[in-house]
Amino acid sequence: MKSYRVSAFDTAPSLENIAVPSPQKGEVLLEIHACGLNFADLLMTKGTYQDTPEPPFTLGLEVCGTIRELGSEVTGFEVGDRVAVYGGQGGMAEFGVFPAERCVTVPDAMSSAEAAGFMVAYGSSHLALTRRARLQAGETLVVMGAAGGVGLTAVEIGKQLGATVIAVARGADKLEIARQAGADHLIDVSADLAAELKALGGIDVAYDAVGGDMFKAAMKAAKREARLMPIGFASGDVPQIPSNHLLVKNIDVIGFYWGGYLKFNPKALTESMAELFDWYTKGRIKPHVSHTFPLDQAADALDILAKRKSTGKVVVTP
């Protein structure tokens, strides 16, 4: 089978032919229809992501596919079921083996491309805003990088939770995507962000996938008892937080890593995903896939992601 693999961290990933794996105890073999790309994939090519495996390995954190073989002691699934799964690696290939306990059945109405990019983006935003940030109806949420794969879902979910949502993104086209997802206010990254946020009355929750100056602006515009969530650092600048500012305003800075829940509280992920799929079937959320690429153009797909030319998700379709 074809597989897009990292052979060494100082070498560009490449498409290779490797043997189709066999499922072991508790695993399923999937024929992979689609693989959702994430910023973490870019970090993994360099070995800088917190959960990067040792080379060689196949890129691709999350997939949708059809079960072709069951390993021993797998219950609740049958050959032919279409499922989505967060595997942490192995998605950018024609086949892959994944833990059955992480698989979720995909609604019939959801396309494979939508399902492949659903778990990390929607799962991250939902769990972050409900469990960690405790976002309440009537509060004001600002989303940095609001047209990206994760940011766009935070806009949608923030609206579903009853918040006033401020979207921050680069350019009119990306801001329009955020508006269509439900954003109440739009701010271009070229603006004086702190001043714009203060003019809108300040913020209760910041969902920041960019870092750098954006996080600093959010701190300046934070209301008393605001909650700030550094989700990622697409700018490459990890902000240093002055603790005296937290003290003066009684601000919380909340750490969050969605994948970590797989290790210490997988039930939280399962319950979150069940609610999200229910929202999807009721038409309350609509995944946005801006680009799809065949497997032999995987490098182009990652390049689109790295240059921030996408809105919503980028998906590879083996």
> What integer is the mean pLDDT of 198-216?
95
Higher pLDDT, 70 or 237: 70
Buried b (16+ CB within 10 A) or exposed e, 243-253: eeebeeeebbb
Whether pLDDT at 241 is above 90: no
Whether residues 169 and 249 fall in one domain: yes
Whether residues 154 and 55 fall in one domain: no
Whether residues 20 and 42 fall in one domain: yes
Contact assessment for residue 64 and residue 82, using Cβ atoms and an 8 Å cutoff: yes
Residue 137, domain extent: 124-256
Domain count, the chain: 2
Give the model's pLDDT for residue 239: 84
Whether residues 32 and 129 fall in one domain: no
pLDDT band at 274 (very low <50, low <70, confident <90, very high): confident
Q: Which amino acid is at 204?
A: D
Give the separation between CA 232 and CA 85, rounded to whole angstroms.
Answer: 22
Whether residues 94 and 163 fall in one domain: no
pLDDT band at 263 (very low <50, low <70, confident <90, very high): confident
* 94: its two tokens: 């024609």
Whether pLDDT at 275 is above 80: yes
What mean pLDDT is reported for the chain?
94
* 298: its two tokens: 């995987």
Whether pLDDT at 19 is above 80: yes
Give the model's pLDDT for residue 151: 94
pTM: 0.87
